[in-house]
Amino acid sequence: MIASLKASWPDCHLTVMVNPLCAPLLAHDPHVDDLWSVPAADWRGFAGKLRLLRRLHAGHFDDCIVLSPNTAFLLLPLWAGIPRRAAMSSNFPSRSLDRCARFLTHRERHRAGRLVLDTELELLRQLGCTQLTQRKSLRAAPHADAAISAFLGGRSAPRIGIGISSGNKLKTLSPEQLTELCENLLAALPHDLVLIGTAADRPIAAEILAKCGNRGRILDAAGAFALDVLPALMPRLDGYFGVDSGVTYIADTFDVPTVDLMGPANADDQRPTGEHAIVLRSELPCAPCSHAFRAPYHCQRGDRACVVQALPATLAQAVVACLAAAAAGTSRAS
């Protein structure tokens, strides 16, 4: 979306407001003129909303585009005097948000079966953006290449990244499943494995390393890198496996052959779109239960069957097939 905005209006001054968790991914984007890293706690309550209102008013913005709609984000741009106020709205009914949406000048409702990205681009089209692109890009921190080179230590073996966790634990594979997946991949392929996660995931990585026999081919990157360094790691991977999480989409941004275990997530809303992406959907009647605008953090069944029943041997076969398709230059998107 940022690329589409700048391609359509190259002289615009673009300010992006994000949660601090995501801010590093935009910190080095040349298209972003001003980055507001704002924790949710900063705009909660009357005093917080008043501070945000004053900041919006002081920015003298011509347009405000809301991609994460809530009552405050739909009303504050109006009170700040911003002439054009656009927002994407949920495909699930919400009386309060629908009432607030009446004060928008442009609105695009998300539809079931359509990628959220397409809904966002349609919103930009309403605003008059004519140079729309679906190509994604991320810029790494200036020191990122050196940090990744030091971590890899000159190893020349091909590599597969393994995402070992997710921000939404509803989607996460167990350490036992991950260990078995790694063992299957090490037996089937000559690749090294790179375990990718946050500092909180280090115990999971340690458990995998302790249980896998061939530890020399497993590199532990859990908590090793800040988020703005990962874009330098992805181009050095020959493949990536993960559940539906942010790191999976970073891999997809760099067209790394990717296998995404969707679990409870709705692949119609969001999925890797790379040429060599394999999307594994659950066939359970309760799936998908997690959508772009309605994302539970607990399983209604209580057993997380869509993830727990995923067989590591089947997941490994999907990774092998994904790498083979990429090597042959054929698409295996599914």
225 C-beta neighbours (distance < 10 Å), count: 20
Cα-based distances in Å from 137 to 56, 194, 251, 266: 27, 22, 11, 23
* Contact criterion met (CB below 8 Å) for 63 and 82: yes
3-state secondary structure of 77: helix
Region 257-273: mean pLDDT is: 96
Type of residue found at 250: I
Whether pTM > 0.85 for this model: the answer is yes
Give the separation between CA 168 and CA 107, rounded to whole angstroms.
Answer: 28
Q: What percent of the chain has pLDDT over 70?
A: 98
DSSP assignment of 165-226: --SSGGGPPPHHHHHHHHHHHHHH-S-EEEEE--GGGHHHHHHHHHH-S-GGGEEE-TTTS-
Question: Residue 23: enclosing H or E segment and its boundaries?
Answer: helix 23-26
Place of tokens 């539809």: 111
Question: Residue 64: enclosing H or E segment and its boundaries?
Answer: strand 63-66
- Domains annotated for the chain, with CATH where assigned, are 2-126 (3.40.50.2000), 144-328 (3.40.50.2000)
Region 214-220: mean pLDDT is: 86
What pLDDT band is residue 152 in, cutting at 50, 70 and 90? very high
SS (H, E, C) 143-162: CHHHHHHHHHCCCCCCEEEE
What are the backbone dihedrals phi and psi of residue 278, each rounded to the nearest 5 degrees, phi first? -115, 125
Cα-based distances in Å from 236 to 156, 230, 266, 298: 10, 10, 29, 35
**What tokens were used for 102?**
């009446």
* Contact criterion met (CB below 8 Å) for 59 and 65: no
Give the separation between CA 110 and CA 125, rounded to whole angstroms.
Answer: 14
Give the separation between CA 279 and CA 252, rounded to whole angstroms.
Answer: 12
Note the pLDDT tens digit of each residue in 271-282: 999 999 999 999
**What tokens were used for 237?**
């991977």
pLDDT at 154 over 90: no
Note the pLDDT tens digit of each residue in 16-63: 999 999 999 999 999 999 999 999 999 999 999 999 999 999 999 999
pLDDT: which is higher, 24 or 214: 24
Q: What is the mean pLDDT of the chain?
A: 94
Region 295-320: mean pLDDT is: 95
pLDDT reported for residue 56:
97
Helices of type H across 195-311: 202-211, 230-233, 246-253, 305-308
